Each structure stands twice: as structure tokens, then as C-alpha cells.
Amino acid sequence: MNSSPLRVSSIACVLAVLIGPAFSQTNSPSAADPKPAPGSPGATRAAVMQVFADPDFRKRAIENFNISSDLEPKLPANEKEAFTKIADLAATDVVKAYFELKSKITPESSAVFDFTLGSIAYQLNRPNEAAKYLESATRKFPAYLRAYKNLGLIQ
């Protein structure tokens, strides 16, 4: 297993980009949108957004989905382009990315797609739908520890 610093949280970072509600907001703070307190979830999300503003970093993080692991499914080559487009779309419109990804889910699609859609659904306050897709991810990849963890957080 590769233990590069990028691998440690590449999947979490990609998902943070996909599921962060900050995508529908502008990045400039104003009186109506004060800067989040240090250490708050909003500050963490803002920091992740700043890192993922770099398209090259997003590309490298998505490529790291393919690092071998017993607990994380691989992102198949035939889904990599679609996933990259969805991640890029989420940078500007997470709701549109949600519907785009939902249209790609099939019984044959990878557990990565189901997991990502479940995580986005949870962030969009759709816990029942989130559970459905996270459960689907665990059926497709039974050792998917992160999917079980997120499912546990929902229930």
C-alpha cells in the first residue's frame, strides 16, 4: 500500500470537494457571510476548497483513487473521466454534480460512484437516500470501510 501524504486523505479531499455546501457560495466573505471561526467545520471546508481550487491538485487526488488498497475500491478507468467531470462540476454547482452523478449510477457502476453519491446526498440533507447509496457501495465492495463509517454516522 502506498503511504504518500496525498494518499492519506485523497478520497476524503475529493469528497469534500464534491459535498461541501460552500460550492454554491462565493468565496469572498462579506458582512452577510462572515469568515468562519478557526477550527469550525466551515473553516475546514474553506481550507479544503482553497486547496482544491488548483485543478492540477484535483487531478492528482482523483488519480490516487487507483492506488491499491484492501479497504478502498479502485476507480475503474472507464469511470475516471466521468468522475473527473463531476468533481469539476461540483466546484461550481454541487446540486448539478449530484444529479449528474445520480444519472451515472447503475448496478454495474463502481462502489466509488455509489459512495460519492451517498456522501453528497447526506450533505444535501437527504439521509434516507444517502443510506441507500452507501449500502449499495458496501454491497458492491464489501470491505469498503469508509462507506460503513459514513453509514454509521447517518444511522
Concatenate the DSSP letters of all residues of 85-141 into one string. HHHHHHTT-HHHHHHHHHHH--TTS-HHHHHHHHHHHHHTT-HHHHHHHHHHHHHHS
**Is residue 130 included in any domain, yes or no?**
yes
Q: Which residue ranges in the chain fall short of pLDDT 70?
A: 1-52, 62-69
Q: Of 50, 17, 5, give the one whose Cα is nearest residue 119.
A: 17
Q: Give pLDDT, residue 83.
A: 92
- CB-count exposure of residue 22 (10 Å: 0-12, 13-18, 19+): middle
**Is residue 112 included in any domain, yes or no?**
yes
CB-CB contact of 17 with 59 (8 Å)? no
Alpha carbon distance 59, 107 (integer Å): 26
Q: Show the domain range for 72.
A: 5-27+37-154
Alpha carbon distance 26, 108 (integer Å): 36
Q: Give pLDDT, residue 123.
A: 84
Q: Give pLDDT, residue 5.
A: 34
**Is residue 109 included in any domain, yes or no?**
yes
**Is residue 136 included in any domain, yes or no?**
yes
**Is residue 45 included in any domain, yes or no?**
yes
**Is residue 82 included in any domain, yes or no?**
yes
**Is residue 32 included in any domain, yes or no?**
no
Tell me the CA distances in angstroms from 58 to 67, 119, 137, 148, one per residue in order. Answer: 15, 18, 23, 25
The DSSP secondary-structure symbol of 54 reads S
Number of domains in the chain: 1
Q: Give pLDDT, residue 34.
A: 58
